[in-house]
């Protein structure tokens, strides 16, 4: 309450003037009701159901019980699990945005509108990498209330926002707060870790709900909270509307979801790196990997260049760079501000769809060799994007393992990169096939995340 009174005084009084006693009802009342009336009808509740195997009860194992009731007693061995979430109507024809984790594995999805009508929904697109899903309901020709999306790059720290959703299944609820941070990157939520942070109360069930600006437009989809006990601690994260818009646009266009690819990656500039490259402070992303003949290389970028901004928006880590590129239109030129040898310049890069080069050549390995039972593929920019990996797009990756196979017994894991066999580099699936024909002993080297593992087989 003191915050609201202070806000009124700051608005009503000149700078450095003494606060005045409110002189009218309008000066006393500060309400978000007009914004809520505009936005709330477009926020929906989502109920999902799926069947799970239930833990067997000792009673079900009793022969006398089974004699009378048989093996098909209701609920025997299975149970229906329900969960609740939120969503936002973004198109009057019935397109709804929610979080992917809200509908993951659902066999039935029911959407409840603010006016209590219910619709069965189908999944038009699920994008686990951004933790977004687009649902479609049959509005029978009716124009549904919807929220327009705002350019989330215009959101600033300190802006007032409302979080609208269905926390704990109690029904539609509105909470108010401010934007605590923008361009917040953090691990563990989605592959594109770039979020708007807010202190508006977000609780379980708010996932997929709307983060709304004071003009009534959507600035983000509430996705996660930082919590030690499951409740709101005032640290919530929302997927920015600009990323939401790319997923929605792909559904409207009727095609597959294609994100822009730069063909370069790097790491955040530290104080030491800044001093070495002549920057006045740590800023930007220093390129450590430039893909041959990719968009970045064709534009003249090279290792050691520092990307400072994309279309005028600062990038200070690789996650921010990936986000900025992924939200650009494929095939259109993108302006990158870079630092090179102490000079700042602007480079135009035409981002493209990640290419399938080399072809993945998916191959189940067979025969009497240590790789038997592993399914291998050539890494390419397209496959790296498809799998949501943070890897250089080259080498041979383990996609699957057959249980009990020689490869599984070696404790290989999906995602491992085959590096060398007997010090011979494995660059393609063909190299792996040839290596499989060589007699033991083997010295096998694989890369697993940041680690390099080596084992000797048959020696």
Distance in angstroms (rounded) separating the CA atoms of residues 185 and 318: 9
**Known catalytic residue at 101:** yes
Here the tokens at position 1 are 């309450």
| Whether the Cβ atoms of residue 121 and residue 208 lie closer than 8 Å to each other | no
Catalytic-labelled residue, pool 101, 152, 250, 405? 101
Q: Beta strands 264-268 and 363-364: pairing type?
A: unpaired
For the chain, give the number of residues.
459
Q: Where are the alpha helices (H) located in 141-294, listed in sequence order?
A: 241-253, 271-277
Q: At what angle do helices 318-326 and 241-253 cross, to 10 degrees?
A: 40
Distance in angstroms (rounded) separating the CA atoms of residues 191 and 391: 12
Distance in angstroms (rounded) separating the CA atoms of residues 274 and 286: 9
CA atoms within 13 A on the CB side of 22: 15
Here the tokens at position 405 are 């196979």
Distance in angstroms (rounded) separating the CA atoms of residues 2 and 160: 16
Distance in angstroms (rounded) separating the CA atoms of residues 232 and 106: 26
Catalytic-labelled residue, pool 86, 112, 180, 207? 207
Catalytic-labelled residue, pool 86, 91, 112, 131? 131
Distance in angstroms (rounded) separating the CA atoms of residues 376 and 378: 7
Query: 301: burial class by Cβ within 10 Å (0-12, 13-18, 19+)?
Result: buried
Q: What angle do CA 367, 369, 373 make, to 5 degrees?
A: 65
**Known catalytic residue at 24:** no
Here the tokens at position 173 are 């609820």
**Known catalytic residue at 380:** no
Q: Where are the alpha helices (H) located in 202-301, listed in sequence order?
A: 241-253, 271-277, 295-298
Distance in angstroms (rounded) separating the CA atoms of residues 306 and 287: 6
Picking from 156, 172, 170, 163, the residue whose alpha carbon sits closest to that of residue 225 is 163
Distance in angstroms (rounded) separating the CA atoms of residues 436 and 367: 9
Can you say how many angstroms the Cα of residue 145 is from the centroid of all Cα atoms in its chain?
26
3-state secondary structure of 194: coil
Distance in angstroms (rounded) separating the CA atoms of residues 340 and 220: 35
Q: Which residues are catalytic?
A: 101, 131, 207
């Amino acid at each position: 309450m003191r915050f609201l009174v202070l806000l009124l005084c700051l608005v009503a009084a000149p700078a450095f003037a003494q606060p005045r006693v409110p002189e009218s009802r309008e000066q006393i009342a500060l309400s978000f009701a007009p914004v809520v009336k505009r936005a709330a009808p477009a926020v929906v509740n989502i109920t999902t159901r799926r069947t799970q195997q239930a833990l067997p009860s000792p009673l079900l194992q009793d022969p006398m019980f089974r004699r009378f009731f048989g093996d098909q007693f209701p609920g025997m061995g299975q149970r229906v699990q329900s969960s609740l979430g939120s969503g936002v109507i973004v198109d009057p024809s019935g397109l709804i945005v929610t979080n992917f984790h809200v509908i993951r594995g659902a066999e039935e999805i029911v959407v409840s509108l603010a006016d209590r009508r219910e619709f069965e929904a189908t999944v038009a697109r699920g994008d686990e990498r951004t933790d977004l899903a687009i649902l479609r309901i049959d509005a029978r020709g009716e124009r549904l209330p919807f929220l327009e999306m705002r350019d989330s790059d215009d959101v600033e720290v300190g802006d007032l926002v409302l979080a609208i959703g269905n926390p704990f299944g109690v029904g539609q609820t509105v909470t108010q707060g401010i934007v605590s941070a923008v361009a917040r990157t953090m691990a563990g939520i989605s592959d594109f870790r770039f979020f708007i942070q807010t202190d508006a109360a977000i609780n379980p069930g708010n996932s997929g709900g709307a983060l709304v600006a004071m003009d009534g437009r959507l600035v983000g989809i509430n996705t996660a909270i930082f919590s030690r006990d499951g409740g709101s601690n005032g640290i919530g994260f929302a997927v920015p509307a600009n990323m939401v818009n790319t997923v929605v646009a792909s559904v409207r266009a009727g095609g597959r979801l294609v994100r822009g690819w730069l063909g370069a990656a790097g790491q955040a500039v530290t104080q030491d790196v800044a001093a070495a490259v002549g920057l006045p402070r740590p800023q930007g992303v220093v390129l450590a990997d430039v893909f041959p003949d990719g968009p970045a290389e064709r534009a003249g970028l090279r290792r050691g260049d520092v990307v400072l901004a994309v279309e005028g928006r600062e990038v200070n880590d690789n996650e921010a760079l990936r986000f900025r590129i992924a939200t650009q239109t494929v095939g259109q030129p993108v302006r990158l501000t870079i630092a090179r040898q102490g000079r700042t310049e602007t480079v135009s890069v035409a981002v493209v769809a990640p290419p399938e080069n080399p072809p993945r050549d998916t191959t189940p390995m067979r025969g009497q060799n240590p790789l038997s039972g592993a399914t291998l593929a050539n890494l390419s920019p397209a496959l790296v994007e498809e799998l949501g990996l943070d890897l250089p797009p080259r080498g041979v990756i383990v996609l699957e393992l057959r249980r009990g196979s020689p490869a599984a017994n070696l404790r290989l894991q999906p995602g491992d990169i085959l590096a060398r066999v007997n010090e011979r580099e494995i660059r393609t699936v063909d190299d792996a096939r040839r290596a499989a024909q060589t007699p033991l002993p083997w010295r096998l080297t694989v890369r697993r995340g940041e680690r390099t593992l080596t084992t000797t087989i048959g020696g």
